[in-house]
């Protein structure tokens, strides 16, 4: 289990606990459960790298 911290441009911070085997798409759906934003509208990126939905979290680290 790993904890991912996501924040948006409005200052809202979300802590999500997920498995390393989960994909970015699964992570977006977990974020949706806490924020209420539709998962298609969420774009996850780190600096200038935009993550695709089919990549697992284990491949990123």
pLDDT digits (tens, 9 = 90+) for 25-59: 999 999 999 888 898 888 888 889 888 989 888 88
Q: What is the CATH number of the domain that holds 55?
A: 3.10.20.90
- Looking at the structure of the chain, the number of domains it has is 1
Rg (CA), the chain: 11
pLDDT for the residue numbered 15: 93
Whether residue 24 contacts residue 40, with contact meaning beta carbons closer than 8 Å, is answered with no
Count other C-beta atoms under 10 Å from residue 58's C-beta: 12
The answer to whether the CB of 58 falls within 8 A of the CB of 21 is yes
CA 57 to chain CA centroid, nearest Å: 9
Which range of residues forms the domain containing residue 9? 2-59
């Amino acid at each position: 289990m790993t904890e991912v911290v996501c924040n948006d441009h409005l200052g809202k911070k979300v802590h999500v606990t997920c498995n390393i085997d989960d994909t970015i798409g699964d992570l977006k759906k977990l974020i949706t459960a806490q924020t209420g934003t539709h998962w298609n509208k969420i774009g996850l990126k780190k600096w200038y790298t935009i993550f695709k939905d089919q990549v697992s979290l284990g491949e990123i680290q």
